[in-house]
Copies of this chain bind each other. A is one copy, B any other.
């Protein structure tokens, strides 16, 4: 019997736990550890921050839910991991021995990156976690009573840009509906070299589409711009310019959580977990990782530092692959190891329209090409996002990851999500790692 511990119960961790349960016989124990009592469908947090949706409606009680599916749940924060001893320490001083640990913590927000960043002890809102979204919602209500200029954007070192666009466009739409838009100059400040770069070197017409959407909405666009710090009523740029703002939402840089960074040899300098194509750690056989906490090398160096994002579907792909690879190692299944395809689909709701991004794969090759890169837009995408949220929450309630009909659907549009690793076609993993 093996004990597989999944650390983190977000878009990567919860599907990983379910998929592990799905592929491993009951003799193997699966433990899900989360410092949050609830699963949150994080992509819907912009709606929560603007009072368009209650936090409750996008959450699931983890203790109640996962136990039904024969997964142990521990509500605790991991404070240390010793990958050599295969041991985890938690904030209730318990320790836990594991055979495999799947790290799915998601990112820690690097709110100390800029002075004044963050809603607590700073002047900016965030939509990166449920607590922040609730605080943003309160700030938004206050703002509406006494409107003024707004800044939305992403700080230097950020890697996840999509939600900033989504939030800016949703704000525009909300203000318009409330008849307040003309009182509110909106400025979008991004560290991307150009709007629509998205940390992935742009895709399809994203560069032109984002600029067009900004102009359509009369949002002032500042590309390739580094924010220096924040004050209560202004955003200061590195070049000395000061942009007034009464409501500021700026995405922070991400890093790996402290307990990972503290574990010698486990992460890179930023706390992200390096992985082989199987999403196993290159040094520690017992460590796998999925989601935002994995190391993903950015496709290009940008004038102002940026990172590459991971979208929800990629986390699910990683979860599928990791569960398969652990099952293989445990001798439960046979065949080839597999890896996520890193095909990415992302829905964004822009209020009066939405955009669906399909990047296959997420990062282009050295020549800047992808197999496919498509953007569709229209109000139906907003509806799809809302529908997908409900579908995903239902899946998580039922303990599904990617059910057969979803797999068929994805295959039908050429997205297998995971693919076998054929050793003869593989680069040497040691080289691949280098």
Residues of A within 8 A of B (CB): 205, 207-209, 211-212, 214-216, 218, 221
Contacts and interface: CB of A to CB of B under 8 A. Distances in A.
A209 B205 contact: no
Contact of A208 (B205, B207, B208, B215): B215
A43 to B, nearest CB: 26
Contacts of A218: 205, 207-208
A221 B207 CA distance: 12
Nearest to A214: B211
The A interface, classified by DSSP as helix, strand, loop or mixed, is helix
The 8 closest A-B pairs by CB, nearest first: A212-B215, A211-B215, A208-B215, A208-B218, A212-B212, A212-B216, A215-B215, A211-B211
Contacts of A216: 208, 212
14 contacts: A205-B218, A207-B218, A208-B215, A208-B216, A208-B218, A209-B215, A211-B211, A211-B214, A211-B215, A211-B221, A212-B212, A212-B215, A212-B216, A215-B215
Q: What copy number does this chain have within its complex?
A: 2
A166 to B, nearest CB: 18
A259 to B, nearest CB: 44
A212 B211 CA distance: 7
Contacts of A207: 218
Contacts of A205: 218
Contacts of A221: 211
A134 to B, nearest CB: 33
A208 B207 CA distance: 16
A195 B171 CA distance: 24
Given A205-B218, A208-B215, A212-B215, 11 more contacts: A207-B218, A208-B216, A208-B218, A209-B215, A211-B211, A211-B214, A211-B215, A211-B221, A212-B212, A212-B216, A215-B215
Nearest to A195: B215
Contacts of A211: 211, 214-215, 221
A255 B123 CA distance: 50
A231 B207 CA distance: 28
A214 B208 CA distance: 8
A297 to B, nearest CB: 27
A212 B216 CA distance: 6
Contacts of A208: 215-216, 218
A411 to B, nearest CB: 32
